[in-house]
Amino acid sequence: MVRVGIVGGTGYTGVELLRLLALHPDAAVEVITSRAEQGRRVDDLYPNLRGYCDLEFREPDVAALVACDIVFFATPHNVAMNLVPELLDAGARVIDLSADYRLRDAAVWSAWYGEPHASPGLLPEAVYGLPEVRREEIAGARLVACPGCYPTSVQLGFLPLLEAGLVDAGGLIASSASGVSGAGRQAKVANLLSEASDSFKAYGVAGHRHLPEIEQGLGDIAGAAVNVTFVPHLLPLIRGIHSTLFATLNDTAADLQALFEARYTREPFVDVLPAGVYPQTRTVKGANRCQIGVSVPQGRDTVVVMAVIDNLVKGASGQAVQNMNIMLGLPETAGLEQIGLLP
């Protein structure tokens, strides 16, 4: 049985990790930390875990965490980068759900997050944990940076087109919308029900922290620099991301439906919908799944790709468990075969 440690288990990604791992056939959470909730039972904070988790939150302790086979960081940015070096030196393997190790350039990271990176020497080593692209590298990694939620949907949507060189990589557009859980559990006025309900708005239009991650990942796929116009929006729902992606085709005769189906035919968590069928956030709620639809409206030269995920599952904790499975040689789908919740 795989022994799991979780640093920062009180937020939405932390409880989602616990929910998924509670029914994982080969893993058990042995350590979960929170300075703010130290001594409190996990199922007191999250009653949905009653009967599945009897642990108490504890102070982060390197010796206890290193005794685990894998350590997840479900923390805000700037936490992991201060503790991960000590854990790696002690022999731990780490999956970081925060943004601390997603960008390879420390100067770029600092420009977007407003502080110096505490462990820049680890940035070149960290493997970006998008399994559909880096499965072999993930398997041998000791530090995996789990992708962000928006970047997961955007990259999976553009991936087949960029690999095939079918679009202009200098003019990519991503219009994405997320439920309020993407902002985390901390109380904020803008995320109150009375503020977010019955409304739809853009934010971060001038620049969002996920943009450099998106451009870095897509640039790796394309083999050259890309330019992305990324506009995120807030949806008046709890879970879900819908990304509508636009690109100009270099070859309007290409069979894009066949391209997408062939690229993802062996991917257990990417579902390409039939031609003319478009994805909805409700069909992936609670599931570690990305559903994709592709179209070329009016047969012109602009391709439209629609990609949906649950931001807390395939966009965060589910993808993290998927990475764990790959790192530890477990079946990749272990603990992740939940079907989307309807209605």
Percent of the chain with pLDDT over 90: 94
Backbone angles phi, psi at 96, to 5 degrees: -105, 120
Q: Residue 237 gets which letter from DSSP? A: S
Asked if residue 136 has pLDDT above 80, the reply is yes
- Angstrom distances, CA of residue 314 to CA of 153, 276, 338: 9, 24, 11
Asked if residue 191 has pLDDT above 90, the reply is no
- Angstrom distances, CA of residue 254 to CA of 54, 91, 108, 258, 281: 55, 48, 36, 9, 28
Confidence of residue 242 (pLDDT cuts 50, 70, 90): very high
pTM over 0.95: yes
Q: Given this model, what pLDDT does residue 188 score?
A: 80
Q: What is the mean pLDDT of residues 54-75?
A: 95
Asked if residue 186 has pLDDT above 80, the reply is no
The one catalytic residue in 53, 68, 146, 149 is 149
Q: What is the mean pLDDT of residues 126-149?
A: 98
Contacts with 188 (C-beta within 8 Å, 6 or more apart), sequence order: none
Q: Is 149 a catalytic residue?
A: yes
Q: Who wins on pLDDT, 332 or 191?
A: 332
What are the tens digits of pLDDT across the range 217-236?
A: 999 999 999 999 999 999 99
Asked if residue 187 has pLDDT above 80, the reply is no
- Angstrom distances, CA of residue 221 to CA of 53, 125, 159: 40, 18, 7
Q: Given this model, what pLDDT does residue 68 score?
A: 97
Q: Given this model, what pLDDT does residue 22 score?
A: 96
Percent of the chain with pLDDT over 70: 100
- Please provide the average confidence, as pLDDT, over all residues in the chain: 96
Q: What is the mean pLDDT of residues 23-32?
A: 97
> Domain spans of the chain?
2-125, 150-311
Q: What is the mean pLDDT of residues 162-181?
A: 97
Cβ contact 242:281 at 8 Å: yes
The string of DSSP letters for 79-117 reads THHHHHHHHHHTT--EEE-SSTTT-S-HHHHHHHHSS--
Q: Given this model, what pLDDT does residue 155 score?
A: 98
Q: What is the mean pLDDT of residues 184-199?
A: 83
Asked if residue 111 has pLDDT above 90, the reply is yes
Tokens of 10: 């009180």
Q: Given this model, what pLDDT does residue 228 score?
A: 98
CATH of 2-125, one of 3.40.190.10, 3.40.50.1970, 3.50.50.60, 3.40.50.720: 3.40.50.720
Cβ contact 130:150 at 8 Å: no
CA neighbours closer than 13 Å in the CB half-sphere of residue 128: 21
Cβ contact 29:70 at 8 Å: no
Which contiguous run of DSSP H or E holds residue 15? helix 12-22
What are the tens digits of pLDDT across the range 247-287?
A: 999 999 999 999 999 999 999 999 999 999 999 999 999 99
Please, what CATH class does the domain formed by 150-311 belong to? alpha beta
